[in-house]
Amino acid sequence: MPVTMCATLAEPHVPGTDLVFCVPLALAWRKLQDRFGPLRFDPQPFLADAMNRVPLDKVIDPAWCVTGAGFGAEGVLEQLRSELHAKFPDADPRLLPSSLAPDALLAYGYLSRDLQFPTVFAVRNLCFQGQYVRAFGINDGPHPDNPARSAQVIAHDYVSSDEFVIELCAGHTEDRILIAQIPPCSRLGVTVGAALDRLERLRPEDRALRPHEELSVPRLQFDISRRFDEFVGRPLCNQALQGRSFDDVQQRVKFRLDESGASVTAEAVMHGYGVPAPKRYFFVRKPFLLMLIRRAAPIPYLALWVETTAWMQEQPAPPPPAFPPFDPSSWNAPRLR
Residue 15 within any structural domain of the chain: no
Q: Say what the pLDDT of residue 139 is.
A: 85
Distance CA 227, CA 308 (A): 22
Amino acid at 121: F
Beta strands in 161-259 (DSSP E): 163-168, 175-181, 214-218, 220-227, 248-258
Residue 29 within any structural domain of the chain: yes
What lies within 8 Å, CB to CB, of 119 at 6+ separation is 146, 148, 149, 151, 152
Q: 154 and 49: one domain?
A: no
Q: Say what the pLDDT of residue 142 is.
A: 58
Q: 173 and 104: one domain?
A: no
What lies within 8 Å, CB to CB, of 142 at 6+ separation is none
Q: Say what the pLDDT of residue 276 is.
A: 41
CATH code assigned at 123: 2.30.39.10
Per-residue pLDDT of the chain (337 residues; tens, 9 = 90+): 699 999 999 999 999 999 999 999 999 999 999 999 999 999 999 999 999 999 999 999 999 999 999 999 999 999 999 999 999 999 999 999 999 999 999 999 999 999 999 999 999 999 999 999 999 999 876 556 789 999 999 999 999 999 999 999 998 778 999 999 999 999 999 999 999 999 999 999 999 998 888 999 999 999 999 999 999 999 999 999 988 999 999 999 999 999 999 999 999 999 986 344 467 888 999 999 999 999 889 889 989 999 999 999 888 888 776 655 544 444 444 444 4
Residue 296 within any structural domain of the chain: yes
The boundaries of the domain holding residue 191 are 116-220+275-306
The DSSP line for 254-269 is EEEEETTEEEEEEEEE
Q: 148 and 286: one domain?
A: yes
Residue 95 within any structural domain of the chain: yes
Residue 332 within any structural domain of the chain: no
Q: 252 and 302: one domain?
A: no
Residue 106 within any structural domain of the chain: yes
Q: 210 and 227: one domain?
A: no
Q: 214 and 249: one domain?
A: no
Q: 40 and 140: one domain?
A: no
What lies within 8 Å, CB to CB, of 336 at 6+ separation is none
Residue 158 within any structural domain of the chain: yes
Kind plus residue range of the DSSP H or E element containing 124: strand 122-128
Report CA-CA distances (Å) from 29 to 17, 69, 108, 190.
26, 9, 8, 22
Q: Are 93 and 148 in contact (CB under 8 A)?
A: no
Q: 177 and 37: one domain?
A: no
> Structural domain tally of the chain?
2
Beta strand 3-6 with 302-306 is unpaired
In degrees and rounded to multiples of 5, residue 303 shows phi and psi of -135, 130
Q: 185 and 128: one domain?
A: yes
Q: 152 and 52: one domain?
A: no
Distance CA 111, CA 253 (A): 9
Q: 175 and 264: one domain?
A: no
Contacts 24+ apart (CB under 8 A), 78-85: 80/106, 80/108, 84/110
Kind plus residue range of the DSSP H or E element containing 281: strand 281-283
Residue 328 within any structural domain of the chain: no
What lies within 8 Å, CB to CB, of 137 at 6+ separation is 121, 122, 124, 149, 214, 215, 216, 217
As a residue count, the chain comes to: 337
pTM of this prediction?
0.85
Distance CA 152, CA 263 (A): 17
Q: 121 and 175: one domain?
A: yes
